[in-house]
Structure 1
Amino acid sequence: MQEISPAVARQYIDAIAAFEAWEEAQLEATQVRGGMYWHAGPPSAPEARYLVRTTPTGAETSLGPQTPENQAIYERFMQRKRNSVERMAGLKAALDQHRRLNRALRVGRVEPLVVSLLARLADTQLSPHFRVVGTHALYAYEAAAGVRLDADALATRDIDLLWDTRKRIQFATQLARVGSSMLGVLKKVDSTFRIRKSQQYTAVNKEGFEVDIIRRERVEDDPHPIKLSDDEDDFWVAQARRANVLLDAPEFSAVIVATNGTMARMTTVAPATFVAFKRWLAAQRDREALKRRRDELQADAVQRLMDEYLP
């Protein structure tokens, strides 16, 4: 374990500030998506005008005839939209600059594919339905602590996404808005992702990188089995032992940086939960010995982060 240099720390802090401002701007931009316009009245009253609110999908809602109140609504909306566009453009330029600086100073060491996948989940507003669990969570902890963990603790070629079955209806609604299967969401990042026929909770790309989607063990009214969409080729989510512990745990979030300088927010479980869960895994005699040793290594590393760096 090694602390990052002051120069890298300064750049990371500045990059986070720009990224978080971008997140806020994106949230504000959703409030002015679509548009407004004045619609001419019927032939019997051609001088009349009606305010219409449009959505990005083309749906329209009439807000009523032109009145001082509706005129004020229209002007406020258009001003907010102009401000949003201007702010987003400025922050995009700032993020591009930070991406170049991140790369030049070697701020990040996460595989770019991982950052791109997390960014895609955020862009499609699907990220609230998932938590990153397993080895990749270490990148969030080390970023927040300002250190570099030993490479042995981070070695992996897959990412585990814990899907929240409690929000399955909201998830299905949002996925329908995206107009894609879950596999389709991944394929927008890397078109070579395919569902493994022998392990249908896993998608693998041409380079062997895997995305596993897991869920808590069935409780109450959880349906089983669960497929993430009606698409013929999509994830069948696998039950994972004691995943309810990870689902119910406090949330931990940090901005991670890829080796190419790009950034994304990773949401995972609180470090204390990670440590306890890894120690439990390491004690399971039916688990492979190599994995149990790595579980202990990772638990020890995160415990040290908690003792020395994390609040």
Structure 2
Amino acid sequence: MNYTPIPEDAIRQAIDAEAVFTEFHKTRKRARAYASGMYWKQEPEGEQLVKTLPHKRQERLGRRSPETEKIYEAYIPKKKEIEMRAATLAAEMDKHRRLNKALRVGRVPNIVVELLQELDNAGLSEHFTVVGTHALYAYETAAGVRILPAALATQDVDLLWDARKRVRFLAEMEKLQVSILDILRKVDRTFERKEGALETAVNDKGFEVDFLRRPNQEGDAHPFQLSNDENDLWVIQALRADVLTQSPKFERVVFAANGAMATMKTIDPQVFVEFKNWLATEAPNRDTLKRRRDAQQARIVQDLIEEGLLVPAKR
């Protein structure tokens, strides 16, 4: 058997924890709109309502008037309300992290969940899709099973960058004023760009993060570096990655071994099966051992689909 059922107590805890995580995530997104401040500033032409923005920017909302006073009076209590709700949910998240760990709800490598969290914190999660072996963690969580550990063994995670959203991505990176390597170093300060592989970051334990993209199409920028920082990572073209880019997305809250949670966005499970079968049988210059594991992973996910434990998108 390539997988076993998750214990009932772990399933119940996963359901409860996911509900709290979903509400926490929703509230945190709302809180971002109120993360700035708002105050009255005396200027020569009179009092101005000023809203503070990230990166030391400010926005003037207008001179003091009944309209701007209404804006201010609505903003302040709403900000306090959302902050209190976020704090309450954060405490609940801490409780569920401990329970997740105690009941062994998940086993995604901690570093992967932390990476997904940091991309989300930066507002960049929509631009990256987890592909390859780590997608199995999303599938097993959705199916309520534990996949055979040998099928999951890997020391790298592949992130597919969506070239179709290049303009928006560049605008967001410009606002953030950081590099992707900076974001990785919030997870582990030992991450460095790998010598001879500009698309790969590696830490001092040998764990790698690879950044992939679809083969170059008309309108795509090529080559492409992920920020203006000359030391940042590049994205490399991957064979048939256009199929993965166009795939329906499959999202699931996943659980780290330490109990932390994050949303993992990956590809549709049926697309995963088809792609892994292609790697196993047709991909050029594929290592024999990797072909064997590709075939094994495809069989596992196909079995989950056929047993009704995993539901692919309708195509």
How high is the TM-score relative to the length of structure 1? 0.95
The residue matched to 1:13 in structure 2 has which SS?
helix
Aligned residues: 307
C-alpha deviations, 1:28-53, integer Å up to 9, x for none? 112223121122353xx7xx533222
1:66 corresponding residue in structure 2: 64
Which of 4, 15, 24 is the aligned partner of 1:13?
15
Query: Structure 2 CA distance, aligned partners of 1:100 and 1:41?
Result: 51
Query: Structure 2 CA distance, aligned partners of 1:134 and 1:192?
Result: 24
Query: Structure 1 CA distance, aligned partners of 2:41 and 2:23?
Result: 36
- Paired AA for residue 227 in structure 1: Q
Q: How far is 1:156 from its partner?
A: 0.6
The residue matched to 1:232 in structure 2 has which SS?
coil
Query: Structure 1 CA distance, aligned partners of 2:26 and 2:67?
Result: 28
- Paired AA for residue 104 in structure 1: A
Query: Structure 2 CA distance, aligned partners of 1:66 and 1:211?
Result: 51
Q: How far is 1:177 from its partner?
A: 2.2
Q: Does 1:52 align with 2:47?
A: no
C-alpha deviations, 1:5-36, integer Å up to 9, x for none? 11000100011001100110111112223121
The residue matched to 2:187 in structure 1 has which SS?
coil
- Paired AA for residue 32 in structure 1: Y
1:29 corresponding residue in structure 2: 31
2:154 corresponding residue in structure 1: 156
Moved more, 96-105 or 160-169: 160-169
Q: Does 1:89 align with 2:77?
A: no
The residue matched to 1:267 in structure 2 has which SS?
strand
The residue matched to 1:22 in structure 2 has which SS?
helix
Query: Structure 1 CA distance, aligned partners of 2:212 and 2:100?
Result: 32
Query: Structure 2 CA distance, aligned partners of 1:181 and 1:22?
Result: 27
C-alpha deviations, 1:116-167, integer Å up to 9, x for none? 1110100001111100000000000111111101111111110000001111
C-alpha deviations, 1:171-227, integer Å up to 9, x for none? 122222222111111011111111111211111111110100010000102122111
2:230 corresponding residue in structure 1: 232
The residue matched to 1:38 in structure 2 has which SS?
strand
Q: Equivalences for 1:108-123 in 2 at 5 Å?
A: 108-123=106-121
1:296 corresponding residue in structure 2: 295
Query: Structure 2 CA distance, aligned partners of 1:29 and 1:199?
Result: 39
Query: Structure 2 CA distance, aligned partners of 1:69 and 1:230?
Result: 41
The residue matched to 1:71 in structure 2 has which SS?
helix
- Paired AA for residue 119 in structure 2: L
Q: How far is 1:293 from its partner?
A: 0.8
How high is the TM-score relative to the length of structure 2? 0.94
2:145 corresponding residue in structure 1: 147
Moved more, 61-70 or 146-155: 61-70
- Paired AA for residue 293 in structure 1: R
Query: Structure 2 CA distance, aligned partners of 1:269 and 1:50?
Result: 49
2:221 corresponding residue in structure 1: 223
Query: Structure 2 CA distance, aligned partners of 1:63 and 1:225?
Result: 41
Query: Structure 2 CA distance, aligned partners of 1:153 and 1:51?
Result: 58
Query: Structure 2 CA distance, aligned partners of 1:58 and 1:230?
Result: 20
RMSD between superposed Cα atoms in Å: 1.3
- Paired AA for residue 303 in structure 1: Q
Query: Structure 1 CA distance, aligned partners of 2:186 and 2:51?
Result: 30
Query: Structure 1 CA distance, aligned partners of 2:56 and 2:75?
Result: 18
Which of 188, 191, 208 is the aligned partner of 1:190?
188
Tell me the percent identity: 49
